[in-house]
Structure 1
Amino acid sequence: MRYVWFGLVFAVLPLASFAQDTLLERLDTTDAGRAWEAVGRLDINGSGFCSGALIAPNLVLTAAHCLFDRVSKARIDPETVQFLAGWRNGRASAYRTVRRAVVHPDYVFDQDVSAARVRNDVALLELQHPIRNTTITPFETAGRPAPDEEVGIVSYAKDRADAPSLQEVCRVMARQEGVLVMSCNVDFGSSGAPIFSFAGGTARIVSVVSAKAEVEGQRVALGTSLDEPLARLRDELDRGGGFNLAPPPEVNRIAVGQTRRDTGAKFIRP
């Protein structure tokens, strides 16, 4: 595995400030998972899964890299993706297939996970049919959280794929080059999982999990703030965009006169 070091940003962060982080709580009963039915597992092409969350009756928010094949780098046919809302112990509150998918226009899928990739690692899935179920309420989204703000995460992962888990309190450690660094506990399968702010007593999605990393021995989650990326995705849907429209680029493109920005960070995808 490869881990990321985010430079000098963390040299001034007191690690004790993250001592209040809560442990993962499995949501494997109806009562425990009642508030999180709009979070679901995305079964992808019969060979893997990610996490995702409903933000409208017909729209699921997730990570862009979930929609690319790691080996061929080809885009995955969205019709082979299924959203399992509230998936627990072999049952879902609703099943839906995906009609089309849009990823951030500046997102580039390649083998090297960089800060630029994480910053744009967001996708919207339009479902074949809306989910209109009184027990499944789409989540609102909110602007970028402030450093040290408390956030939470609901996700699936390789060792807990049959039910979601909640970490009710983790924190925003820093923002760097448009990337949010959070003390949330994630693992493989957590890609695309919603990161929630609880400001005002309402859970709103402020980020999605793009990668996991390590800072001074502490495991962290990486994602992007949603303000600008989500607006661009919605605009792309409104203009009729979506897969499969063109082959994905295989290399990063740099405009004339533009220098490559390299933080030296190394990432791993969850």
Structure 2
Amino acid sequence: MPRRLRPPRLLAAALLALSTGAAAAQELPALPLEDHTAWQAVGRLNTKGYNRRGMCSGALVAPDLVLTAAHCLAGPDGNPVRPETLHFVAGWLGGEFAGESAVASYEIHPRAYARVTLDIEHDLALVTLATPLDVTPLTLGSALSPPFALVGYHDHRPHRLSARFDCAGARDHRLLRIACPVRPGNSGGPVLAGGPGWRIVGVVAAAAQGDTLAVPVDEWLRERLLRGAPYTSE
């Protein structure tokens, strides 16, 4: 693992909006309460440290594996956080939840920090939970065509899932540009396509002029899941 997980200057503004609470005029609306049980695989990846607490979103892709963004595992100083400071809560809803676990370890995409600073095109990570959860994981997909869906938690509504299921979007070089807004906390949340049988096709990485930049799932992730949880991939 690299000594510092510092994002490059050109990405600082985009990541700032997700990681430090920069203002945003728009946000994902609240997921209707009656739909919450269908999305219990999405949860909060909570971090804690000296005088600091934070959160990202993440999604179960196996009973003991959470897909999130690599930059969610960097502390404010750019150094990797210790696994013992992380905790995942699936389906968090105002004090209730579908499952929770401490984090045993995590694995960052091998190209995310190949040049020390973050390569946003590979801003992916897999978190291994200390205890497998009795929650049905989400499945990976391959169809990168709209409509796209975003599901996760953000700072304006940290105790209830927020979501959109009608987002336009298309490839933007190696990334996906999704025409729906995100806020701090949405980082690491799943981007889905193929509704009504929604499947994960990407991970929220950054905000950009009211849109969302997402990293598509790739062969590293698929191969990693096939080794440990083949039933979660098409």
Q: Shared fold (TM-score greater than 0.5)? A: yes
Q: Does the alignment pair 1:2 with 2:13?
A: yes
Distance 1:66 1:3 in 2: 14
Q: Contact conserved, 1:54 with 1:61, CA < 8 A, in 2? A: yes
Q: Contact conserved, 2:28 with 2:182, CA < 8 A, in 1? A: no
> Cα distance 1:235–1:55, how it changes in 2: closer, same or farther (>3 A)?
closer
- Structure 1 residue matching 2:157: 3-state secondary structure: coil
Structure 1 unpaired stretches of 5+: 5-22, 239-270
Q: Contact conserved, 1:102 with 1:236, CA < 8 A, in 2? A: no
State the Cα RMSD in Å: 2.5
Deviation at 1:188, TM superposition (A): 0.8
Give the alignment of 1:195-234 within 5 angstroms. 195-199=191-195, 201-214=196-209, 219-231=210-222, 233-234=224-225
Deviation at 1:182, TM superposition (A): 0.9
Deviation at 1:43, TM superposition (A): 0.5
Deviation at 1:233, TM superposition (A): 4.5
Deviation at 1:40, TM superposition (A): 0.3
Match of 1:243 in 2: none
The structure having more radius of gyration, on CA atoms, is 1
Match of 2:64 in 1: 58
Q: Contact conserved, 2:205 with 2:212, CA < 8 A, in 1? A: yes
Give the alignment of 1:24-43 within 5 angstroms. 24-27=28-31, 29=33, 31-43=34-46
Structure 2 unpaired stretches of 5+: 1-11, 16-26, 230-234
Distance 1:237 1:57 in 2: 10
Q: Does the alignment pair 1:145 with 2:144?
A: yes
Q: Deviations over 1:6-64 (max 9, x none)?
A: xxxxxxxxxxxxxxxxx8431363x2301101100111125100000001111100000
Distance 1:186 1:169 in 2: 14
The number of equivalent residue pairs is 204
Distance 1:110 1:28 in 2: 42
Q: Does the alignment pair 1:95 with 2:131?
A: no
Deviation at 1:78, TM superposition (A): 1.2
Letter in 1 for 2:214: G
Q: Deviations over 1:218-265 (max 9, x none)?
A: x11111110324135548989xxxxxxxxxxxxxxxxxxxxxxxxxxx
User: Identity of counterpart residues, as a percentage?
Assistant: 33
Distance 1:62 1:196 in 2: 13
- Structure 1 residue matching 2:219: 3-state secondary structure: helix
Q: Contact conserved, 1:140 with 1:205, CA < 8 A, in 2? A: yes
Q: Contact conserved, 1:124 with 1:233, CA < 8 A, in 2? A: no
> Cα distance 1:191–1:24, how it changes in 2: closer, same or farther (>3 A)?
closer
Give the alignment of 1:112-131 within 5 angstroms. 117-131=119-133
Q: Contact conserved, 1:37 with 1:93, CA < 8 A, in 2? A: yes
- Structure 2 residue matching 1:163: 3-state secondary structure: strand
Letter in 1 for 2:37: R
Superposition TM-score, scaled by structure 2 size = 0.79
- Structure 2 residue matching 1:190: 3-state secondary structure: coil
Distance 2:218 2:137 in 1: 18
Distance 2:143 2:172 in 1: 10
Deviation at 1:174, TM superposition (A): 2.8
Deviation beyond 4 Å, 4+ runs, structure 1: 109-113, 232-238
- Structure 1 residue matching 2:100: 3-state secondary structure: strand
> Cα distance 1:111–1:100, how it changes in 2: closer, same or farther (>3 A)?
closer
Give the alignment of 1:230-245 within 5 angstroms. 230-231=221-222, 233-234=224-225
Letter in 1 for 2:30: R
Match of 1:108 in 2: 113
Q: Contact conserved, 2:143 with 2:193, CA < 8 A, in 1? A: no
Distance 1:140 1:67 in 2: 23
Q: Does the alignment pair 1:78 with 2:83?
A: yes
